[in-house]
Structure 1
Amino acid sequence: MLAQSVYTLVNQQNGNLSFKVFEFDNNSYFDHIQRNNYFTLIIITSGEGIATVDLAEYPFKENTLFAFYPYQPYMLQSKGPLMGVAIQFHHDFFCIYRHHKEIASNGILFNNIYQQPFIHLDENARKTLLNFVSEITGELKTEGLRRDEVIVSYLKIFLVLATRMKLEQQTVLLASDPGGKQLMIIQHLRNAIEENFRTKHSASDYAGMLHLTPNSLARIARMHFNKTLSDLIADRIIIEAKRELYLTEKTIKEIAYELGYEDEYYFSRFFKSKTDVSPQAYRDTVGFNRGAVC
């Protein structure tokens, strides 16, 4: 594959990236921390290495599909040549939140704090997804009638298929936990976070709910999620904050209050510490575009 094989659509209103597909035959693009204001899908067709995502490390090899959401920090360090293809798209081109019922990818493929940010592809899955990338590339080479709509249609199918694949892989239980005790704790923890993240921000709160010591729950969280319990809670708050910043016109103060923060400035510092941008900057670069049709 050739690094110069790049096809891009630009938002004519603001000059920013709308959609991009490119092939790569080395790791120069991903060998440093990325924090992009758009979604990124990467299919590794050849090579292996270590992916650093949200400060956690995951080994990867060929036939892996990565899915990263806006401003999620990631870096791919390969042990040799790395080849593949990447798709990047902005919310204004295709709105994950608004198409949630159609594709169900938000919270599964993207914005999933409970699962690793990639899936493994068998040969059939790899060929199927790469075929859709080829169809998208073909459209990008033309100036055909309603080209953007055709690309969105292919992208939807790509996301639906990738989401199915991830759901199938999530059903595999860990062989190291034959009794299911830890898996039950993990499920209770997920439920507790989903029900209480707006009001309870402390790891000790959740340990108390699950009748475990904070250290015991922390070990289980680290083992299953590859992150601390505090990071897990913070990530869930940030995902909800991003959703509100994108979909609504609520003030930052209102969003902060709904997420359990009486001090909007404290909330803004917390948000920036996790995303590297302020809530207002996130809204300006990713958020609600009043002129866009999602």
Structure 2
Amino acid sequence: MNDNALELFNPQSKSLVFKVFPFGSDEYFNSLKKYNYFSVILILAGKGSLIADISEYSFKENSLMCFSLYQPFKIQCKKGFKGIMVNFHPEFFCLHKHRNEVSCNGVLFNNIYESPVINLTVDEAQYLLTIITGLKVEMERPGPSQPEVLISYLKILLINASRIKIEQRHLEAVSSKKAPVILNSLKDAIDEHFKSLHSPGDYAELLNISTAALNRLSKTYFNKTLSNLIADRIIIEAKRQLYLTSEPVKSIAYELGFNDEFYFSRFFKSNVAISPQFFRDTVGFDRGNA
């Protein structure tokens, strides 16, 4: 670990809840990362490839990457890789609890249809760096009000990153060729039926298109297979319920359309690499309602 990393721990549980980590190479990111906290990575120099979940993306200097709880990612850059990473645990800052103040869930995090890489202008990158520098300075100056100040800076960071992402969406929609209309229908169908329809064929039949054709469109525009999209949507809801509710895993499984709790656990583990119970234990049981 970088000696310059600044870390904050929960005094009761002794677990890491917040970290600011400047880096000057890709050494730390060469192996697959799966954190039990959210990650925001500002890249100031270098270009290379990102593998997130099972998809690959390219990136260049002045870009932002955002990853959700236990979302696997690996970054590779040949030379000149430089930036800073911010990690925060839901125990420190709960996105659901603060959703009216910071509407970044579905924009920066848990967005299954778009790349986790956000391209920035030089000015945007420097502005976000200024905010993160404020976090870094505050981490170096501990005191009784430190968590509140850090959370204020974190909100500003997330709000501005979300604004940049939303504006970028708008510009891309205006300047680029529009995606086939059926993909919007697919998004709506998945959001409406993911609890009851789990196979690609179900959605192809619903949208009156062949499974192969729908899968090709999904790969072309979302960089994911149709099966991956459906699984990702199920996992997002499973994570939400495991964190925000006290419902037994068996009940969550049934609500998500799994008749067998053990099959659901295997499905969850194959997609997240940990069991539902381990996710709940390490992310924070029912703390979103605290």
Task: Report the TM-score when normalising by structure 2.
Answer: 0.96
The offset of 1:288, in angstroms, is 2.3
Give the Cα–Cα distance (whole angstroms) in 1 for the partners of residues 289 and 66 of structure 2.
23
Q: Is the 8 A contact 2:23 2:82 kept in 1?
A: yes
What SS does structure 1 have at the residue aligned with 2:28? coil
Aligned mates of 1:37, 1:105 — CA distance in 2: 18
- Equivalent residues in 2 for 1:199-214, closer than 5 Å: 199-214=196-211
Name the residue aligned to 1:264: 261
With 66-75 and 95-104 compared, the bigger mean Cα shift is at 95-104
1:137 equivalent to 2:124? Answer no
Q: Please name the residue that 2:6 is paired with.
A: 7
For 2:173, the equivalent position in structure 1 comes to: 173
Structure 1 pair 279–119 and aligned structure 2 pair: CA distance change class (3 A): same
Instruction: Tell me which residue corresponds to 2:223.
Output: 226
1:201: Cα distance to partner?
0.4
Determine what percentage of the aligned residue pairs are the same residue. 46
2:89 alignment partner in structure 1: 90
Structure 2 equivalent of residue 100 of structure 1: 99
C-alpha distance in structure 2 between counterparts of 1:258 and 1:85, whole Å: 39
Query: Aligned equivalents of 1:238 and 1:124: distance in 2?
Result: 36
Q: Which AA in structure 1 matches 2:103?
A: A
> Which residue matches 1:277?
274
Aligned residue for 2:29, secondary structure, equals coil
* C-alpha separation in 2, matches of 1:26 and 1:127: 19
Distance 2:9 2:285 in 1: 18
Counterpart in the other structure of 2:125: 126
Please give the secondary structure, in 2, of the residue aligned with 1:59: strand
Measured in 2, the distance between the counterparts of 1:168 and 1:176 equals 14
Structure 2 letter corresponding to 1:42:
I
The within-5 A match list for 1:229-248 is 229-248=226-245
- For residues 170-221 of structure 1, give each alpha carbon's deviation from its aligned partner in whole angstroms, at most 9, with x where no partner exists: 22138774xx4x4311111000000000100010111111111001100000
Q: Which amino acid aligns with 2:285?
A: F
Deviation at residue 289 of structure 1 after TM alignment = 5.3
**Cα distance in 1 between the residues matched to 2:86 and 2:166:** 21
**Consecutive aligned runs of 4 or more in structure 1 exceeding 3 Å deviation:** 174-177
Aligned partners of 2:48 and 2:59 also within 8 Å: yes
Whether the 8 Å contact between 2:45 and 2:82 is mirrored in structure 1 is yes
Go from structure 1 to structure 2 and tell me whether the alpha carbon gap of 1:60 and 1:287 turns closer, same or farther (over 3 Å shift). Answer: same
Q: Does the aligned pair in 2 maintain the 1:3–1:25 contact within 8 Å?
A: no
1:155 aligned onto 2:136: no
**Shift in Å at residue 251 of structure 1?**
0.4
3-state SS, counterpart of residue 9 of structure 1: strand
Equivalent residues of 1:4, 1:23 under 8 A apart = no
Q: 1:141-176 CA deviation, whole Å, 9 max, x = no partner?
A: 112341100100110010011011111122213877
1:293: how far off? Answer: 8.2
Q: Which residue of 282, 285, 289 maps to 1:288?
A: 285
The letter of the residue matching 1:51 is L
SS in 1 for 2:216: helix
**If the length of structure 1 is used for normalisation, what is the TM-score?**
0.94
Following the alignment from structure 1 to structure 2, what is the Cα–Cα distance between the partners of residues 159 and 7?
19
> Residues of 2 paired with 1:21 and 1:285: CA distance?
20
Render the CA deviation track for 1:53-75: whole Å, top value 9, x for unaligned: 11111011100100001110100
Question: Aligned to 2:50, what secondary structure does the other structure show?
Answer: strand
Which residue of structure 2 aligns with residue 63 of structure 1? 62
**Contact 2:244/2:289, CA 8 A, preserved across alignment:** no
Residues 10-89 of structure 1: pairs in structure 2 closer than 5 A: 10-89=9-88
Query: Which ranges in structure 2 are unaligned for 5 or more consecutive residues?
Result: none
Task: Give, in whole Å, the separation in 2 of the partners of 1:289 and 1:86.
Answer: 27
